[in-house]
Amino acid sequence: MPALPVGPLLSSPLKALYADLDGTLAGPGGSLYATADGPSSRGAEALAALHRASVLLVLVSGRTRSQVREAARLVGARSFIAELGAFVVDRTDPETVTANFGAFRGPGSPFQAMARSGAGAYLLERYAGRLEPHTPWALEDREATMLLRGLIDEREATLDLERAGYRWLEVCDNGRISRTYGSLDVPEVHAYHLVPRGVSKASAVRLHRQRHGLAMGETAAVGDSPSDLQMTSEVGAMVLVGSRPGDDDDPKAFRTEAPAVDGFADAAGALLAPAGP
């Protein structure tokens, strides 16, 4: 994956930016100003520049609806996507909510169905010592996904679920967590979501674009995880912050050297650069 180019990333002016929250816009501890190298105001300045350019800011997160709603209010995002794509919300009066539940077919909520099925318990037993609930956030009022942490291969885990009869579910990697946990025997820790098949940030971005009449070429996304990279198929440009060079050769995907906060600012600056002739 190439580094951000000097020139603009889009051939048309940016109209909407889909921004991941934790690990992208927010740094360590979920702060808009915290970076590994100390405080930085560049993320906040980038948000102001986006608002001055009348760019529609859409927060995209694995957090619950109530958690993302509050974050959206604070940063001036008029829309948000919660629980890894399960909800697409416009902050209108009254609020407009579209459920994006993929393969789930009621009754009740996807979370309730997962709890009844024992799928979460199956994964915790299958990957004992390598996977656990992502407490305390896993205990929030979740509606569509189960939140876990550890280090596993999400593709292998999804195949395990299928073999065990949980064919309507899959596991998604929502990025690295900046701390370790003594209860886990793993070298690094990632956040994982157990979701209905078809639920993703990409499918939610598609729903939002269609609702607002946005062409792919006038939108972009910024993130830090594999679940964010999936948005590449639905936007004109994708930027992963703090990402190492990889084998992803999609011409619309780029990386920044700087991680959260400063990396978001670098991405916003490139996306707001005037398009060439």
Residue 7: per-residue pLDDT: 73
Cα torsion 61, 62, 63, 69 to 10°: value is 30
- Look up residue 134 and give its two tokens: 């992502």
Residue 1: per-residue pLDDT: 83
Q: Where are the domains of the chain?
A: 16-100+200-272, 110-196
pLDDT at 249 over 80: no
CATH code of 16-100+200-272, in short, is: 3.40.50.1000
Is residue 18 within 8 Å of 235, Cβ to Cβ? yes
**How many percent of the chain have pLDDT more than 90?**
86
Q: What is the H or E stretch that residue 131 is in? A: strand 131-133
pLDDT at 231 over 90: yes
pLDDT at 248 over 70: no
Query: Residue 234, Cα to own-chain centre: how many angstroms?
Result: 14
Residue 17: per-residue pLDDT: 98
pLDDT band at 246 (very low <50, low <70, confident <90, very high): low
Using CA atoms, how far residue 36 sits from 4, 122, 188, in Å, is: 21, 36, 17
Residue 179: per-residue pLDDT: 86
pLDDT at 247 over 80: no
pLDDT band at 182 (very low <50, low <70, confident <90, very high): very high
Query: Residue 261, Cα to own-chain centre: how many angstroms?
Result: 15
Using CA atoms, how far residue 34 sits from 31, 47, 74, in Å, is: 5, 15, 16
Q: Which residues contact 254 (CB under 8 A, 6 or more apart)?
A: 1, 2, 3, 4, 5, 9, 237, 238, 239, 240, 270
Residue 276: per-residue pLDDT: 54
Query: Which of these, 180, 178, 147, lies nearest to 26 by C-alpha position?
Result: 178
pTM of the model: 0.94
pLDDT 10s digits, 208-227: 999 999 999 999 999 999 99
pLDDT 10s digits, 118-153: 999 999 999 999 999 999 999 999 999 999 999 999
pLDDT 10s digits, 27-42: 998 999 999 899 999 9
When pLDDT is averaged across residues 89-101 and rounded to a whole number, the result is 96
Average pLDDT, the chain: 94
When pLDDT is averaged across residues 91-96 and rounded to a whole number, the result is 95
pLDDT band at 84 (very low <50, low <70, confident <90, very high): very high
Partners of 170 in the β-ladder = 195
H helices of the chain, in order, are 42-52, 65-75, 110-117, 119-126, 154-163, 201-212, 226-229, 262-272
Residue 126: per-residue pLDDT: 98
pLDDT 10s digits, 47-56: 999 999 999 9
**How would DSSP label each residue in 187-256?**
SSEEEEEEEETT--HHHHHHHHHHHHT--GGGEEEEESSHHHHGGGGGSSEEEETTPPP-S---TTEEE-
Is residue 14 within 8 Å of 266, Cβ to Cβ? no
When pLDDT is averaged across residues 73-84 and rounded to a whole number, the result is 97
When pLDDT is averaged across residues 259-273 and rounded to a whole number, the result is 95
Residue 273: per-residue pLDDT: 86
